Structure 1
């Protein structure tokens, strides 16, 4: 069967044998026209055959595709650029393609994280990049430092215990997001900003409105995880991006309208590059968003006796917001959500990484194993101690003090005879205990402030109490009894003032050591 092949302005005839496939025809055309095809890491050049407006697949037989004698088939060469890198998203289980050439490998990891953030919609402070060997890639290094080649696949890991939350954010499930939010206030506030950012990028209007009602602001920067607050000044530049910028980058018009209606300060909110949402929409070519933002920027805000342009009204709102923050700072109304002493922190390259994309189930399972292992160790140690106690009690003969012996020797004679003097603290304790009993001795089950519940803080506290006992000769409880007994001698003073006197005496004993 004779057919005509049209290629690059030429039309040549070819004899097609029965049963030949499109792939065989492509090989004939390649040899006849001396076409150079390629399939390497940089890209791919391949032939495309079209008949009647449709593309012919390689496995099709030409005669079965409806091609008749003297038909004309159009042939063309297409070039397809391959991605420079692939990034495996541990949350969505998908591969993100990063387009580029070998020049991309000379860029910093910080630049690569910005590209990945634009592709997947996650803030840069939520994830980290790792090689397939598990080596973490830091922002300040270049990709060539890790000896990467074109077409290599990297892994994107998120904070441990966040996998379920981020999956719910991507899908826009408000109930699941509410379920997986943290109970700790610093982490909760950060998770709300992250969730609002992802909702703005994905276009989840219901989730975004729910978060704004909870206090999240679209013009507030996402920032960094509380574990990294101490080094946020040297963090990635994109940590200053807000949810309104994510909506502008992805052209989410409904989200932009909702954010502006809730807070007009979003109109002039700037990203780390100094770009407003209008500028971001212009750069990304979102025409509808540009028209809406221009209309809002040139609108007028009307009051009963005055009309203000939007630019002036935004300046007034900014001034009002700064004044409110100053008042809250002076009167300490604003809650403090910063990290405190004893909270965990992350140091790149030194501390154990906490961004391995482990789910909540894995974290709970590890905690359960630690608790069970510790309880088994404690139970075995308690059993050994009990056996030793029984053994000692079986061999030891109890000797009770003689009543006559203690009655014969008065206090002075016992001291002269070399007997151990009676502890004054015990006497004061017996005299004062009947008036105001002390609370029970604290143990590990008592509630303590949050910054004293960590193992290191407990070690410091116990070591301080032991050193006080060694240097003062009294335990802290005995010292409290002693000070309270002295303060109780001021009988004309109210009990609370006596308590203040006892507190001052206790401080003096510590300072005089």
Structure 2
């Protein structure tokens, strides 16, 4: 079969068998045109064949892709830069690529956390980084201090018991966010600021409006966890970022309008680098946000007898707000919701880490296990002491008691066995899988009978059909519906072909995949 290959301004004819795979055709073109290809840790240089506007995959056969006699195939040399490292997000179960070069390893861990905060939408105060061996990475150290290689995968861990809460914030579910809020006032205030920051990053307007009605301000920095209030010397610079800054970074115009409508001080609040929302919008090139912020900054606030420019009005508003807060503290002795003596303290490298991404089930299980162990260990001695105190003095001197054996000698009690988790944490290789997004959606299946042909009415035929579908799902790893959506999405990439031709190509690819099982 003669086809034409267009490469670098040339169009050469080639005699290629119709049953030839795309991979072998690429090898033939590489030798014919003397193309230098590479594939290493930093990047790769490869060939890509295109036909009818779609990219041909290596395992496809030319006939299956609809390539006929005298067809023209376009050959392109592409260069792709590989990520320097990956970070596995324990909340969203995604592997986030971090692009750059080898010089990134000379940067500090705090710089990497800033990049991940922009990518994932989490404040830097809610997560930490660990190697896959479990070694925690501190902000002051560089990546080279941990002997990392190119393409390594790090782990992003969050506070214990926060996975469900952060997942609800990412999805923007107001009811779930309210459900997973802490009952302690200090942690509750911090969680509300974190939720407003994430809502500003992802553009969840309903969640942001609800949090603002609860008294959360968009011009107040997220800050740090209450247990880290004593570690101000080692704080990250990005803890000074406010929700309005996150909205400006991602071009969330509706969130910016909502924040400014409730509090005009958002126009003048600055992050740790002294940047306002206007400067951040200029830096990221969000034109709509930039025009709106300029209009609000240069506007005039009118009162019945006087009109003030916005910058003067903001200064007056700041003075009034500061005065009201001080008067409120003096009159009602309002609590400041900060750490006090007796609260738990977390110091890097000295105390046990509270960021291991345990879900609520595992978090409360560990707390219950510790309570059971301590209560069992001290119950026997407490009973002995109580009995000694109740006896008369003469008998108290004669009486001797033998202590009960500890739990370590007797083994685990039934309560501890019930508290043991019945599941094990999944392997990271099983979690990190390549996902695909369909371009063509099939109509939803509303009834069970819709998935069966109408002429199959006998129970024997239904049994054969169901057994075939079950075996297909077992060996292919996806349902027949998912497989149909997948192959239709592949065929839809060939935009220059009619729809019926795309459908026929999807059938051939699906049939070939069944034969290869």
TM-score range, shorter chain: 0.7 to 0.9
Residue by residue over 1:237-295, the C-alpha shift from the partner in whole angstroms, topping out at 9 and shown as x without a partner, is 00000000011111111111100000001011111111111111121121211121111
Alpha-carbon shift at residue 120 of structure 1 (Å) = 0.4
Kindly state the Cα deviation for residue 97 of structure 1 after the two structures are TM-superposed: 1.2
> What is residue 335 of structure 2 aligned with on the other side?
335
Q: How far 1:370 sits from its partner (Å)?
A: 2.4
- What residue is the counterpart of 2:269 in the other structure? 269
Q: Distance in 2 between matches of 1:69 and 1:374?
A: 80
Q: SS of the counterpart of 1:125?
A: helix
| Residue deviations 1:332-351 (CA, integer Å, cap 9, x gap) | 64422111111111111111
Unaligned runs of 5+ in 1: 399-513
CA 1:33–1:160: 2 relative to 1, 3 Å: same
**Cα distance in 2 between the residues matched to 1:397 and 1:13:** 109
- TM superposition score normalised by structure 2: 0.73
- CA offset digits 1:209-233 (Å, max 9, x no partner): 1111111100001111111111224
Question: Mean alpha-carbon deviation: is it higher for 326-335 or for 141-150?
Answer: 326-335
1:20 aligns with 2:20: yes
Aligned pairs for 1:482-493 within 5 A: none
Aligned to 2:249: 249
**Residue range with higher mean Cα deviation, 182-191 or 126-135:** 182-191
Is residue 356 from structure 1 mapped to residue 356 from structure 2 by the alignment?
yes
Contact 1:26-1:47 at 8 Å conserved across structures: yes
**Aligned equivalent of 1:376:** 376
Per-residue CA distance 1:320-361 (angstroms, 9 max, x = gap): 122223334544644221111111111111111111111222
In structure 2, distance between residues paired with 1:111 and 1:397: 67
Unaligned stretches of 5+ residues in structure 2: 399-517
Distance in 2 separating the partners of 1:129 and 1:318? 38
Matches within 5 A, 1:269-348: 269-331=269-331, 333-348=333-348
Alpha-carbon separation, structure 1, partners of 2:387 and 2:191: 51
Cα separation, 2, equivalents of 1:165 and 1:260: 27
CA contact (8 A) 1:21 1:61 kept: yes
Deviations 1:103-135 (A, max 9, x none): 111111010000000010000011101111111
1:54 shift after superposition: 2.1
CA contact (8 A) 2:123 2:222 kept: yes
SS for the counterpart of 2:356 is coil
C-alpha distance 12-264 of structure 1, shift in aligned 2 (>3 A): same
1:298-333 superposed Cα distances (whole Å, 9 cap, x missing partner): 221111111112122111111212222333454464
* Offset at residue 68 of structure 1 (A): 2.7
Residues 23 and 59 of structure 1 are in contact (CA less than 8 Å); yes or no, is this contact kept in structure 2? yes
List per-residue Cα deviations over 1:440-469 (Å, max 9, x = no partner): xxxxxxxxxxxxxxxxxxxxxxxxxxxxxx
* TM-fit CA distance, 1:182: 1.4
What SS does the aligned partner of 2:23 have?
helix
CA 1:47/1:381 → structure 2, altered by over 3 Å: closer, same or farther?
same
**What displacement does 1:73 show?**
1.4
Match of 2:83 in 1: 83
| 1:188 alignment counterpart | 188
Using the alignment, how far apart are the partners of 2:351 and 2:30 within structure 1? 58
- Aligned partners of 2:397 and 2:237: how far apart in 1? 75
Quick one: distance in 1 between partners of 2:361 and 2:189? 23
- Counterpart residue number, 1:419: none
Give the superposition deviation at 1:101.
1.0
What TM-score comes out, normalization by structure 1 length? Answer: 0.73
Give SS of 2:186's match: helix
- 1:29 and 1:111 mapped to 2: Cα distance? 44
CA drift at 1:396: 9.4
Q: Secondary structure at the match of 2:78?
A: strand
1:77-226 to 2 correspondence within 5 Å? 77-226=77-226
SS of the residue corresponding to residue 259 of structure 2 reads helix
Is 1:30 aligned to 2:26, yes or no? Answer: no
Please tell me whether the aligned partners of residues 224 and 232 of structure 1 are also in contact (alpha carbons under 8 angstroms).
no
Partner of 2:53: 53
Task: Kindly indicate whether the alpha-carbon contact (under 8 Å) linking 2:388 and 2:396 is maintained by their aligned counterparts in 1.
Answer: no
SS of structure 1 residue aligned to 2:323? helix
Against the structure 1 CA distance between its residues 53 and 396, is the aligned structure 2 distance closer, same or farther, given a 3 Å change threshold?
A: closer
The answer on whether the counterparts of 2:278 and 2:293 sit within 8 Å (CA) in structure 1 is yes
SS at match of 2:231: helix
Following TM superposition, by how much is the alpha carbon of 1:376 offset from its aligned partner in structure 2, in angstroms? 3.1
CA shift for structure 1 position 50? 1.4
| 2:39 maps to 1:39 | yes
2:223 touches 2:240 (CA, 8 Å); kept in 1?
yes
State the structure with more CA Rg: 1
Q: Indicate conservation of the 8 Å contact 1:282/1:290, yes or no.
A: yes
SS in 2 for 1:195: helix
For residues 306 and 391 of structure 1, what CA distance do their matches in structure 2 show? 85
Task: Give distance in 2, aligned partners of 1:378 and 1:311.
Answer: 64
